[in-house]
Structure 1
Amino acid sequence: MTGSDRLVEVLPKAHLHLHFTGSMRVDTVRDLAAKHGIRLPDALLGDWPPRLAKATDERGWFRFQRLYDAARACVRGEEDMRRIVREAALDDAAEGSRWLEIQVDPTSYAPFVGGITPALEIVLDEARAVSASGEIGVGVVVAASRMRHPLEARTLARLAARHAGSGPGEVVGFGLSNDERRGLVADFAPAFGIARRAGLALVPHGGELLGAQSVMETLEHLGPDRIGHGVRSVEDPQVLDAVAAAGVALEVCPGSNVALGVYADPEDVPLRRIMEAGVRVALGADDPLLFGSRLSSQYTAARSLGCSDAELAELARGSILASRAPDGVRRAALEDIDAWLTPSSGKPAGPPR
C-alpha cells in the first residue's frame, strides 16, 4: 500500500551518494565560518536551504558551485574534517542508515593538513572511529574531479588503491564528480583501470546535467559498478536497457534533481521508470547542505511518487546490495528490511550485527 504509517526513518538502508562538503549541517558551516573568520554568502546565512538557479545551464551551475566552494573554504584543518565525518555518520544513523559511503576529493583539503595522503587518512581514521560505535559503518569513496587534468585522477586512484579495503574506515570506491559537461569521459579510463585492479567499486557521476549519451559513454569507457544519478538514461530506452543489462546500479537523488532544475517538479523524477526497467536503485541525498534534504527525505519523495512500502523496501535492499558494506552488516540490514514490512514494524530495528 502507499502512504502507510511505516516510518522511512527506521527503514534500514545504505547511503551511497553523499559528498563530504555537501554533507555538512548548515549550523556547522556557519560555525566553521565564524571560527576561521570567513564571510559566507548571504544564501548560506539567511533562509535555508538556498534557492538555486537551474544548474543545467552554465549560469545556474556557477551559482551552485560558488556556494559549494564557499562552504568548502570553511574547512581548514583536521578538527573540521573529523567533525564533518562524525556528523554525517550520526545524521545518517538517525535516519536508519546502516552503512555510509562518503565521497571525498582529498585535494580540496590537502593544503591545510600537509598533503592529499594526510587529508585522506584523517577522513579514514574518523570513519573508523565513528564506526566503532556499532550504529553505522562508514566507508570512503575517493573522487576525482572532471574539472582537473586526468593525470590528477590517476594520482588519486593510486592513493585510493593504497588504502583499499572492504570495511569501515577503508577506501571502498573510486568516483568522478563535478560538472559532467567538462572533460572527456574516455580520458579518465586509465584512472578507473587503476581503481579496478585494486578491487574498488567504480562509481562515477553521469546522466544528470547531460542526457542519456553521458550515461552510455560512462558505461562504455569506465565500466562502472554504479553511476551517480544516471536518471536521464530514461531519455533513450536503449541506454536504460543497457544499464539494466550491465547490472549497474543508479544512485538516484530526487532532491538534487529538483533543486538543480533537472526536473521542474518532484513528480517528474523518473524513479519509477528506472525501477520498472529492472535497474537497481540506491537513493541518495547528494549535498544536503545546499539541497535541504537528507536521506530519509528521498524515501519520502519515492513514497510521494507512488512507491508502496514493499517498493520502498526494495529500494533499501538495492542500496544495501549495491554497497560495499561488510557481509555481516549486509545480512543484518536485509533481515531488518524484511522485519520493517511486518505489521508490527515502525519501531527502530537493532544496530548492525
Structure 2
Amino acid sequence: MEMPRPLDRLPKAHLHLHFTGSMRHSTLIELAREHGVHLPDALEQDWPPRLRATDERGWFRFQRLYDIARSVLRRPEDVYRLLAEAAQDEAAEGSRWLEIQVDPSGYAHRFGGLTSTLELILDAADRAARSSGVGIAVIVAANRTRHPLDARTLARLAVQYAGRGVVGFGLSNDERRGRARDFDRAFRIAKRADLLSVPHGGELSGPQSVAECVDDLEADRVGHGVRAAESERLMARLADRRICCEICPTSNVGLGVADSPEDVPLRRLFDAGVPIALGADDPLLFSSRLLPQYELARTVYGFRDAEIAELARQSVRSSAAPESLKKELLAEIDQWLTR
C-alpha cells in the first residue's frame, strides 16, 4: 500500500486569506494586553468562538469579533509582526505564494490615511517575503456593506500600486447586503490596470451570487463560490472559463454554510472540472490554517495524492505569481508526486 506523501512538503499557493484573520491567536492576546484592549470571552477563554453567520444576528456577531481583533493593530510594528508571522506559518505548511486580502479603510484612521496604510502593508509584506522565502502579494478589497463610491476610491488606490505589490481587487463581507452589479464600475477601474477580479460570492447566498460575480464583475476567481455546486450549468461555465473558486472548508463549517466538513461539496466541484484553490479564510476565528484544508481533502473528501497535487497546481495556476515562479512550483509539485 502506498504511504501518503507529507502534505507540508507539497508546494502550494494560498489565495484566500484575510489580513486581520491571519493573525495568530497568541499574538492577538499579547497585543490586546499591550494596548489595553478588552477581549470578549469568545476571543480569549472560549476561543475559537462558536459561530453561525447564516442569519443576520450571527453575521453581526462574527463581524463584531473581527472588528475587535482588528483594533489591536495600533502601531506599524504590529503590522510588521502580523505579516512576518503569517509568512512563517505559510512557509511551515508548504505555501510558497500568498495573496493576502485587506481593506485599507479599516486601518486608515490609525496609519495616516488610505495611501500610507497600503504602503505600510506593502512594505511589511515585502519584508516578510524576503525573510521567509514565501512570495507575498496584496489584494485590495472593498466592503460590500459600504457605498460603491468607497469601492471606486479603493479601486483607484489599488491601481496606483498595480505592479508594486498589489495584484487584485476584491469585494468582501456579506453578499446578501450588496449586489455585485452595484460595484461594477469599481471593478472596471481595476480590470483596466490588469488587476485580478476576485470578489466574494456563493458563500451565504446561492449560485446566483457566483453568476453575478462572473457576469457583472468579470471575476477571475470567486472567493468561496462553494454554492456554485448547486447548479450544474454554473459549474460547467466556471470549468469552461477556468474561473477558480477559493474553497475554505473549515470556514464554511464555522459559519454554518455547511453543517459538517462532509457537507462541503469540494469533491463535486472538483469532479465537475471547476478550478479550486483551497484557503483558510480567517484562521484567527476558525482555528485552522491552510494545511488542514489539504488534510480534509485527503481524509474527508477521499482525494488521492495525484488529485491533491492537482489541487496544488490549480492554486498556482490561478494565482498572480510571476510566470517563472509558477513554472518552478509546478515542477516541484510533479517532483512531490513522483518522489
Greater CA drift, 309-318 or 43-52: 43-52
Equivalent residues of 2:297, 2:308 under 8 A apart = yes
Q: Which residue number corresponds to residue 286 of structure 2?
A: 291
Q: Which residue number corresponds to residue 308 of structure 1?
A: 304
| Partner Cα distance (2:19, 2:56) in 1 | 23
From 182, 203, 209, the counterpart of 1:187: 182
- Structure 2 counterpart of 1:262, which letter? V
| Partner Cα distance (1:77, 1:124) in 2 | 15
| Partner Cα distance (2:175, 2:34) in 1 | 33
Q: Which residue number corresponds to residue 147 of structure 1?
A: 145
Matched, 1:101 2:94: no
| Partner Cα distance (1:179, 1:82) in 2 | 28
| Displacement after TM superposition at 1:48 (Å) | 2.7
Matched, 1:22 2:21: yes
| Displacement after TM superposition at 1:134 (Å) | 6.0
Match of 1:337, SS state, is: helix
Equivalent residues of 1:98, 1:329 under 8 A apart = no
| Partner Cα distance (1:195, 1:298) in 2 | 30
| Partner Cα distance (1:95, 1:143) in 2 | 25
- Structure 2 counterpart of 1:115, which letter? G
From 249, 256, 280, the counterpart of 1:261: 256
Q: Which residue number corresponds to residue 326 of structure 2?
A: 330
Greater CA drift, 239-248 or 28-37: 239-248
Q: Structure 1 unaligned runs (5+)?
A: 344-353
What's the RMSD between the two structures over aligned residues? Answer: 1.2
Equivalent residues of 1:77, 1:109 under 8 A apart = no
| Partner Cα distance (1:286, 1:265) in 2 | 17
Deviations 1:123-179 (A, max 9, x none): 1011111222362110000000001100000000000000001xxx60011000011
Matched, 1:216 2:180: no
Alignment of 1:25-104 (within 5 A): 25-52=24-51, 54-104=52-102
| Displacement after TM superposition at 1:239 (Å) | 1.6
Deviations 1:34-53 (A, max 9, x none): 1110101111111432211x
Equivalent residues of 2:91, 2:132 under 8 A apart = no
| Partner Cα distance (1:338, 1:210) in 2 | 37
Deviations 1:39-68 (A, max 9, x none): 01111111432211x211112112211111
| Displacement after TM superposition at 1:280 (Å) | 0.6
| Partner Cα distance (1:214, 1:189) in 2 | 14
| Partner Cα distance (1:85, 1:155) in 2 | 25
Equivalent residues of 2:155, 2:186 under 8 A apart = yes
| Displacement after TM superposition at 1:121 (Å) | 0.4
| Partner Cα distance (2:74, 2:260) in 1 | 37
Match of 1:113, SS state, is: coil
Deviations 1:238-259 (A, max 9, x none): 1222222222100000010111
Q: Which residue number corresponds to residue 235 of structure 2?
A: 240
Equivalent residues of 1:225, 1:249 under 8 A apart = yes
Q: Which residue number corresponds to residue 346 of structure 1?
A: none
- Structure 1 counterpart of 2:151, which letter? A
- TM-score (normalizing by structure 1): 0.93
Match of 1:111, SS state, is: coil
- Structure 2 counterpart of 1:31, which letter? E
Q: Which residue number corresponds to residue 280 of structure 1?
A: 275
Q: Structure 2 unaligned runs (5+)?
A: none
- Structure 1 counterpart of 2:325, which letter? V
- TM-score (normalizing by structure 2): 0.97
| Displacement after TM superposition at 1:75 (Å) | 1.2
- Structure 1 counterpart of 2:282, which letter? D
Q: Which aligned segments of 4 or more residues in structure 1 are displaced greater than 3 angstroms? A: none
Equivalent residues of 1:23, 1:289 under 8 A apart = yes
| Partner Cα distance (1:217, 1:131) in 2 | 34
- Structure 2 counterpart of 1:140, which letter? V
